[in-house]
């Protein structure tokens, strides 16, 4: 059976993955690999949120992109992961404010909109796992996981921390970041890093699910 090997690792805890309900925001270079990892691990009650369509520039880092050029991402991904629930919308500050996250066990943030990330932190910090910048880097061994206030080495993360302080936000939530200095100023990307961010997010999600609901 397709999940026998992970069942050997998790044993009776595998049922927690089958029962988990997750919302994944963004299915690009980070999110697409996180989604694949979640699904192959036995988590199938997943809602994905993205507004974008595939183009040629996605093909160096986004799963399935070479098969679906020009297609809407969430709809294309449904052909590979049939149980997905789809929301084809741009995740911005207003959408976060109006959306009801209460039914989800975890909120996985793989977007790059600063205001939306800040809104997510303020609204969902108790069940949020957030990805910082994965572009401009080449070394996946420099990926770290820690609470927001212990993250470092990332200008994007620094900006998020600054803005949260400005909003008098002092709660903790889990972030994935890289301690590697940016290799270039342009937004170049290497799948070895972006995919590793997504796989790390999946692993952290499974860790939280095994602990139980927050």
pLDDT per residue as tens digits for the range 31-74: 999 999 999 999 999 999 999 988 877 677 777 788 788 889 99
**How many other CB atoms are there within 10 angstroms of residue 74's CB atom?**
21
Confidence of residue 22 (pLDDT cuts 50, 70, 90): very high
Confidence of residue 111 (pLDDT cuts 50, 70, 90): very high
The residue ranking higher by pLDDT, 154 or 23, is: 23
Q: Tell me: the pLDDT tens digits for 178-214?
A: 999 888 888 888 999 999 999 999 999 999 999 985 4
| Contact present, 132 and 151 (Cβ < 8 Å) | yes
Residue from 110, 114, 94, 126 nearest 213 by CA? 126
Confidence of residue 1 (pLDDT cuts 50, 70, 90): low
| Average pLDDT estimate for 72-79 | 92
Residue from 213, 160, 200 nearest 37 by CA? 200
Structure confidence at residue 213 (pLDDT): 55
Structure confidence at residue 171 (pLDDT): 97
pLDDT at 150 over 80: yes
pTM higher than the cut 0.85 = yes
CATH 3.40.50.720 fits 4-211, yes or no: yes
Structure confidence at residue 185 (pLDDT): 82
Structure confidence at residue 38 (pLDDT): 97
Structure confidence at residue 59 (pLDDT): 73
| Proportion of the chain above pLDDT 70, given as a percent | 98
pLDDT at 142 over 80: yes
**126 Cβ contact list (under 8 Å, min separation 6):** 171, 173, 214
* Most confident range, picked from 26-30, 45-49, 155-159: 45-49
Domain boundaries defined on the chain: 4-211
């Amino acid at each position: 059976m397709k999940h026998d090997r992970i069942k050997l690792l998790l044993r009776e805890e595998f049922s927690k993955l089958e029962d988990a309900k997750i919302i994944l925001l963004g299915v690009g270079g980070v999110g697409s690999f996180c989604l694949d990892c979640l699904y192959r691990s036995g988590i199938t009650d997943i809602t994905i949120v993205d507004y974008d369509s595939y183009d040629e520039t996605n093909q160096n880092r986004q799963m399935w992109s070479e098969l679906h050029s020009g297609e809407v991402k969430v709809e294309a991904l449904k052909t590979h992961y049939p149980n997905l629930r789809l929301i084809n919308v741009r995740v911005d500050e207003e959408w976060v404010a109006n959306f009801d996250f209460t039914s989800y066990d975890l909120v996985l943030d793989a977007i790059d909109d600063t205001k939306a990330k800040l809104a997510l932190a303020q609204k969902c910090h108790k069940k949020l796992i957030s990805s910082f910048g994965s572009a401009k880097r080449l070394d996946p061994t420099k990926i770290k996981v820690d609470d927001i206030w212990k993250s470092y080495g990332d200008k994007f993360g620094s900006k998020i921390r600054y803005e949260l302080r400005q909003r008098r936000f002092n709660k903790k939530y889990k972030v994935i970041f890289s301690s590697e200095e940016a290799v270039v100023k342009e937004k170049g990307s290497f799948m070895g890093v972006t995919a590793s961010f997504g796989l790390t997010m999946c692993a952290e999600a499974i860790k939280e699910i095994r602990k139980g609901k927050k």
